[in-house]
Structure 1
């Protein structure tokens, strides 16, 4: 070996397994986050998942720095940060929400024709629906979630809802989604 040559440091077995574990945890958290975002999960579940993902991202970043500078393990080191970047891009471009809507709007429209509350919580497409209510000339689908400030989709095929804009202190506020569908927040 000459003086100018550098020897490649072999990546230790423990580091490979550690990075595989970190990548696996990040992948699972990313997939669960996509599901919770797509299905309009509760705010609590979104906050908990965000906190877990932030911790996993910190661990992945530190491990990636060690892997890059100490072992030059580029693929192992950059996989977890790449997954987190892909999740961020998907959320930014609303890909989970758009995909969930594409999978679910047909069954929601079929259910909106009758607009009958099944009497129990149900799943329509990917959305978990707490109850269905005929109100303001349309059919409202309340998401499974927090009791205060209920949210959901409203179907108004004949005319728009009576009030477009943020909700009053007590009442419902609607915003256009994909006409004749509206998103709503119910503060009553």
Structure 2
């Protein structure tokens, strides 16, 4: 290609074809962002600890920075608009789903059956995986059964209270579904 032809193409606005390496990198980065958004939804459902959630958000941020670099190259050099929209659409979808409460509702529906089975024999139940919730301890208390999940500051988890919510200092119960409540025991 001669210098004259390159100049003419640039002046007339003829679009350069998008090279396959850029398409693969942009598509691959968008795919990784989408997969990582799915991981974040799973961590949200499983009530991940703060350090894990922070690390996961940092990874998503790093992937978005890489995506931004490739997108700028694609938009400026190749005018590749459509493939550049995939990652932002995935991230916006993740935000909508994460904020909608659908993740928590689905997680509870998956875990409710195993937790009800354990609550029926609360004295014999032990910590472990109940549905997708990791429970650190199970104890009979307040006329029901408390399933404690880890919280970095306070004890928190799920309570099966068929006799109603007891009045206890430094304990907050929040209704979940029928006799089930979430709780926080403040230090």
TM-score by length of 2: 0.84
Unaligned ranges ≥5, structure 1: none
Q: Secondary structure at the match of 1:161?
A: coil
For residue 132 of structure 1, report the CA deviation from its aligned partner: 0.6
Root-mean-square deviation over aligned CA pairs: 2.4
Q: Where does structure 2 lack aligned partners over 5 or more consecutive residues?
A: 1-7
User: TM-score scaled by structure 1?
Assistant: 0.83
**Closer/same/farther in 2, CA of residues 94 and 58 from structure 1, 3 Å limit:** farther
Give the paired residue count: 180
Contact 2:118 2:125 in 1 (8 A): no
| C-alpha deviation, 1:52, in angstroms | 1.5
CA contact (8 A) 1:61 1:81 kept: no
Displacement of 1:146: 4.0
Correspondent of 1:160 among 130, 147, 165: 165
Q: Tell me the equivalent position of 1:88.
A: 95
Larger radius of gyration: 2
Residue 5 of structure 1: how far off its partner (Å) = 5.9
Q: Secondary structure, in 3 states, of the residue corresponding to 1:116?
A: helix
Which of 73, 86, 96 does residue 79 from structure 1 map onto? 86
- Aligned partners of 2:143 and 2:74: how far apart in 1? 60
Tell me the equivalent position of 1:46: 53
After the TM superposition, which residues 96-175 of structure 1 pair with which residues of structure 2 at under 5 Å, given as runs?
A: 96-116=103-123, 118-119=125-126, 121-143=127-149, 145-146=150-151, 148-163=153-168, 171-175=170-174
Q: Which has the higher helix share?
A: 2
Contact 1:107 1:125 in 2 (8 A): yes
Runs of 4+ in 1 over 4 A off after TM superposition: 2-5
Q: What is the CA–CA distance in structure 2 between the aligned matches of 1:184 and 1:117, rounded to whole Å?
A: 21
